[in-house]
Structures are given as structure tokens and as C-alpha cells.
């Protein structure tokens, strides 16, 4: 009988997928199809949760089959992430405008990411104090104890590394291994390696123009191929979001969410407040923030459901260039950096909230100005090298808590609501990355505002 229920669930998913395909044939916009997939997935997942429960045989094995669609889609995006990071950075150097503005793009792009992470930390501190969050109120169960044991081992690795050693880990001793994503800092290592390749190209172009032109043509051809792969995969976004949302809704522990409701609410208040800051910065640049939201919905929805900033990179870059009118050079440079530097959600808000919650347990008053200033500075510095995949916030939190000499056990006590909060954190990370690209392109005079203001520019490319 259980097998029959599993088959019925699979048939329902196939029917929903066919419905999304039908919407595409009817030329329904890309954003509307993504939202439809999100809504249908949420509804279907809740129904499965209510009928079968989170840990039943039917739910577990249904999700295993659904993972072929959801996790398969994420893997297809992850497949192209490292090639895209490498070719995007190298390709950015072959653009004439980037060659002239490289210093400005680096300064503003990275600077905006780091400064907004500091702002995110300040917002998180204020929110935690405002909601009266207290780490001593959290209870540890069997799962939490197991998680803390695992984190203790991981924290030992972090504590054993000095700040110079952490910085040294960014450098690519074996770029081919880093292209496989072998280390937490592989992404930034690939960015550094690609930047060296790009700078070498600039030197060759000056001294050996013919070889430089040949290399440029090869890179342009490879970039065109990679972006075509990205376009093919991105067409599956509504279906991927549907399956991913079913999994989230069907396997969430709603009782645990209710028990930690104050922390969940406080987290999303901080995340939303920081997102509003992004929109205010866009408005300050004399751009329409409503357009920023509308065109960003597909990538933010994917980031929310998949919980992977790295997986969202292809759609991130596509949204910047084809939706917002950001120059390819800026989008290809700032987008990959946003995976490892200045993640507003994972590296900014989450570590700050945990630090404020746990500070009283070691006799530190959260309102102490010295503590607040030190915490914000540590968060801004430690935001370098945070992995853009699920678990990056945990890595960032361990670093911040260790440097501030605060207990790390609180990280494991929130395991039951970690996935729910991580969804919002990841979406904020991606929003910050795109916002940085838009502002950097605007400041350097490379933003095509006609494309930005064209309501259908993104659908013309992704939704075909």
C-alpha cells in the first residue's frame, strides 16, 4: 500500500511538471512560472507532510524520487559553476571596459559587499537585542548533542588556523583541484587563479597582439558555450523550484519551528530589514527598486529553495547582464566574488545574532560598545572565503565565535530550524551580490539603464 501512495505522489508531481511545461508553451513569463512552481511545491509538500508525516516510509521514499528532479537540477547548475567562475573572470579581462576600470570595479564591487555585510551585522545585533534573544533559553536534544559533537571537531580546525593561515588558504596551490571545489575556499582560489590568467592576457595583448587576439577569441567562444549551457539549464528553473519546495515543505519539523518561533521571526525581520537596505541603496543610485525586485524574483526564489549561492551564480550573472543591464565585465567579476566575500545573510546576520545571544553566558553585555564594534569588524574581516553552499553560515559562525572567544555550542542548538533560516539567508546573499553588481556598474558608467528599465528584458533571454 505504501508503494501505491509513493506512485500516486510521483504521478501528481509529473502532472504538475506538465502543467509548468504547458505554461511555457503558452508563453507565460519566466517569473510567473517560477512563482507558480514555488506555490504548487509549497502546497503539495504541506499536503504530504500532513497526510504521511515527515519521517514516514512514504514521505522519505517519495522525496528520494523527487530529488531526481530537485537535487538533479541543483547538480546541473553546480556542474557549470566552477567553469562559469573561471571563464567569467578571464572573460571579464578580455572586455576593453573592464581593462580600463579594473581597479574601480574591484574597489567598489568588493567594498560594497564588505560594507553591506557590516551593516547586516549591525541590523542583526539590533534585532537580537530588540527581540530579547537569549542563548540560555535553548534546549539541547539528542540531535543537538550529535550536531555539537560534530561542530566541536570542525571548530578545532578553525581555531588551529591563525588569521594569516586563513588568508593563505585563499591562494590556489593547485588550481585544478580547486576547480573541483575540493576546499571551502576553492571558489575564491579559482577567482584568484583566473585573475592571474586575465592579467597575463593583458600583458600578452600589449607585447604580442596576435597571440592576445587569438586567446581572446578562444575565451569568447568558450564563454558563449558556457552561457548557452547556463541558458539551457535555467529553462528548468520552475520545475526545479517546484521539486525543491515540495521537499522543504514535506520534511520541515513544524513543531520545532514553533518552539523556536521567536528566533525564526527575529531572523527574518533582520533579513527583510537588510533587503530593504539593498533597495534603498538601489533607489539612492536613482534606479527603480521595484524593477530590481521583479527581475530578481526568479534567482531569489531559486536561492531561497535551493539554499546555494553557488548554484544560483549562473542565474545571478544572467539576471545582472540581461535583466539589469550590468556590463558583462562587471557581472562576471562581481558575481563570483559574491560567492566568497561579504555574504550579507550567512556571513553577516547569522554570526552576529548568535554572538549576541551567547555573549551573556560568558559575562559580556551585548550593549557594550566595545563588544559591538569588535563584533562588526570581526564579521567584516571573516566574511572573506565563506563557502557559497549550504553550511557556509555555520563555517562563518564558528570563525566569528572562536575569534570572539564565545562558546560555539549555540550553533548546534538551532539545527531544527537551520534549513528554514538558511533559505532566507541565501536569498539575501544573492540579492547583495546582484545589488553590488548593479551599483558598481552604475558608478563606473557601464550600466545600460534602457535594459534595466525594460520590463521584458530578462524573459526575452531566459524564458524563451
- In three-state form (DSSP H/G/I as H, E/B as E, the rest C), the secondary structure along the chain is CHHHHHHHHHHHHHHHHHHHHHHHHCCCCHHHHHHHHHHHHHHHHHHHHHHHCCCCHHHHHHHHHHHHHHHHHHHHHHHHHHHHHHHHHHHHHHCHHHHHHHHHHHHHHHHHHHHHHHHHHHHHHHHHHHHCCCHHHCCCCHHHHHHHHHHHHHHHHHHHCCHHHHHHCCCCCCHHHHCCCCCCCHHHHHHHHHHHHHHHHHHHHHHCHHHHHHHHHHHHHHHHHHHHHHHHHHCCHHHHHHHHHHHHHHHCCHHHHHHCHHHHHHHHHHHHHHHHHHHHHHHHCCCCHHHHHHHHHHHHHHHHHHCCCCCCHHHHHHHHHHHCCCCHHHHHHHHHHHHHCCCHHHHHHHHHHHHHHHHHHHCCCCCCHHHHHHHHHHHHHHCCCCCCCCCHHHHHHHHHHHHCCCCCHHHHHCCCCHHHHHHHHHHHHHHHHHHHHHHHHHHCCCCCHHHHHCCCHHHHHHCC
pLDDT (tens place) for every residue of the chain, 464 residues total: 788 888 888 999 999 999 998 988 888 877 788 888 888 998 999 999 888 888 888 888 998 999 999 888 888 877 887 888 888 788 878 865 555 677 788 888 889 999 999 999 999 999 989 888 876 555 544 444 444 455 555 555 555 556 676 667 777 888 888 777 767 667 778 888 888 998 898 889 888 988 988 998 998 898 889 888 888 887 888 898 899 888 888 887 776 666 677 888 899 999 999 999 999 999 999 999 999 998 998 889 888 887 778 778 888 888 998 889 998 878 878 887 787 777 898 888 988 988 888 888 788 888 888 899 999 998 888 777 665 444 567 777 777 877 788 877 666 666 667 778 888 988 999 999 999 999 999 998 888 888 898 877 666 555 54
Phi and psi, residue 408, nearest 5°? -95, -5
Residue 103 CB neighbour total at 10 angstroms: 8
- 86/69 Cα distance (integer angstroms): 27
The model's pLDDT over 85-144, given as tens digits with 9 standing for 90+, comes to 888 788 878 865 555 677 788 888 889 999 999 999 999 999 989 888 876 555 544 444
pLDDT, averaged across the chain: 82
- 117/414 Cα distance (integer angstroms): 22
pLDDT of res. 391: 56
Whether 444 and 330 have beta carbons less than 8 Å apart is answered as yes
- What CA–CA distances, in Å, run from 27 to 32, 320, 457? 10, 22, 14
pTM of the model: 0.80
- 197/219 Cα distance (integer angstroms): 11
Is residue 132 packed enough to be buried (19+ CB in 10 Å), middle (13-18) or exposed (0-12)? exposed
Whether 34 and 298 have beta carbons less than 8 Å apart is answered as yes
- 413/418 Cα distance (integer angstroms): 9
The sign one gets for the Cα dihedral 32, 38, 41, 42 is: negative
Phi and psi, residue 311, nearest 5°? -65, -30
- Out of 1.10.3860.10, 3.40.718.10, 1.20.1050.10, 2.60.40.10, the CATH code matching 2-70+100-176+234-462 is 1.10.3860.10
- 297/31 Cα distance (integer angstroms): 7
> Domain limits of the chain?
2-70+100-176+234-462
The model's pLDDT over 370-408, given as tens digits with 9 standing for 90+, comes to 899 999 998 888 777 665 444 567 777 777 877 788 877
Residue 160 CB neighbour total at 10 angstroms: 9
CA angle in degrees (0–180, nearest 5) for 131-114-282: 80
Amino acid at each position: 500500500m505504501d508503494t501505491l501512495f509513493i506512485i500516486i505522489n510521483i504521478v501528481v508531481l509529473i502532472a504538475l511538471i506538465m502543467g509548468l511545461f504547458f505554461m511555457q508553451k503558452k508563453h507565460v513569463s519566466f517569473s510567473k512560472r517560477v512563482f507558480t512552481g514555488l506555490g504548487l511545491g509549497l502546497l503539495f509538500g504541506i499536503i504530504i507532510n500532513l497526510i504521511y508525516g515527515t519521517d514516514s516510509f512514504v514521505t522519505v521514499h517519495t522525496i528520494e524520487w523527487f530529488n531526481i528532479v530537485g537535487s538533479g537540477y541543483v547538480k546541473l547548475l553546480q556542474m557549470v559553476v566552477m567553469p562559469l567562475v573561471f571563464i567569467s573572470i578571464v572573460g571579464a579581462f578580455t572586455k576593453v571596459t573592464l581593462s580600463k576600470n579594473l581597479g574601480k570595479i574591484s574597489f567598489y564591487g568588493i567594498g560594497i559587499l564588505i560594507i553591506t555585510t557590516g551593516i547586516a551585522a549591525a541590523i542583526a545585533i539590533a534585532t537580537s537585542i530588540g527581540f530579547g534573544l537569549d542563548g540560555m533559553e535553548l534546549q539541547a536534544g539528542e540531535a543537538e548533542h550529535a550536531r555539537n559533537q560534530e561542530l566541536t571537531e570542525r571548530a578545532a580546525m578553525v581555531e588551529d588556523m591563525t588569521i594569516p593561515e586563513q588568508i593563505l588558504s585563499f591562494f590556489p596551490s593547485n588550481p585544478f583541484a580547486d576547480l573541483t571545489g575540493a576546499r571551502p575556499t576553492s571558489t575564491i582560489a579559482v577567482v584568484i587563479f583566473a585573475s592571474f590568467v586575465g592579467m597575463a592576457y593583458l600583458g600578452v595583448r600589449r607585447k604580442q597582439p596576435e597571440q592576445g587576439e587569438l586567446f581572446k577569441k578562444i575565451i569568447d567562444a568558450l564563454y558563449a558555450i558556457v552561457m548557452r549551457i547556463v541558458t539551457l539549464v535555467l529553462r528548468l528553473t520552475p520545475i526545479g523550484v517546484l521539486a525543491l519546495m515540495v521537499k522543504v515543505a514535506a520534511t520541515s519539523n513544524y513543531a520545532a519551528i514553533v518552539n523556536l518561533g521567536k528566533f525564526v521571526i527575529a531572523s527574518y525581520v533582520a533579513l527583510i530589514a537588510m533587503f530593504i537596505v539593498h533597495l534603498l541603496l538601489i533607489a539612492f543610485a536613482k534606479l527603480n527598486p521595484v524593477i530590481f525586485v521583479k527581475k530578481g524574483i526568479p534567482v531569489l526564489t531559486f536561492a531561497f529553495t535551493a539554499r546555494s549561492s553557488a548554484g544560483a551564480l549562473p542565474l545571478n550573472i544572467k539576471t545582472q547582464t540581461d535583466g539589469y543591464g550590468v556590463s558583462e565585465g562587471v557581472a562576471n567579476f562581481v558575481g563570483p566574488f559574491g560567492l566568497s566575500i561579504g555574504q550579507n545573510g550567512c556571513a553577516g546576520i547569522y554570526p552576529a545574532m548568535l554572538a549576541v545571544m551567547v555573549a551573556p553566558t560568558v559575562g559580556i553585555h551585548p550593549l557594550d560598545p566595545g563588544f559591538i564594534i569588535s563584533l562588526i569588524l570581526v564579521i567584516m574581516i571573516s566574511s572573506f572565503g565563506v563557502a557559497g553552499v549550504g553550511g557556509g553560515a555555520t563555517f562563518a559562525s564558528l570563525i566569528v565565535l572562536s575569534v570572539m572567544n564565545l562558546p560555539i555550542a549555540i550553533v548546534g542548538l538551532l539545527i531544527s530550524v537551520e534549513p528554514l533560516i538558511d533559505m532566507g539567508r541565501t536569498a539575501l546573499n544573492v540579492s547583495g551580490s546582484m545589488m553590488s553588481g548593479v551599483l558598481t556598474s552604475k558608478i563606473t558608467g557601464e550600466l545600460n539603464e534602457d535594459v534595466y528599465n525594460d520590463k521584458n528584458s530578462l524573459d526575452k533571454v531566459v524564458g524563451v
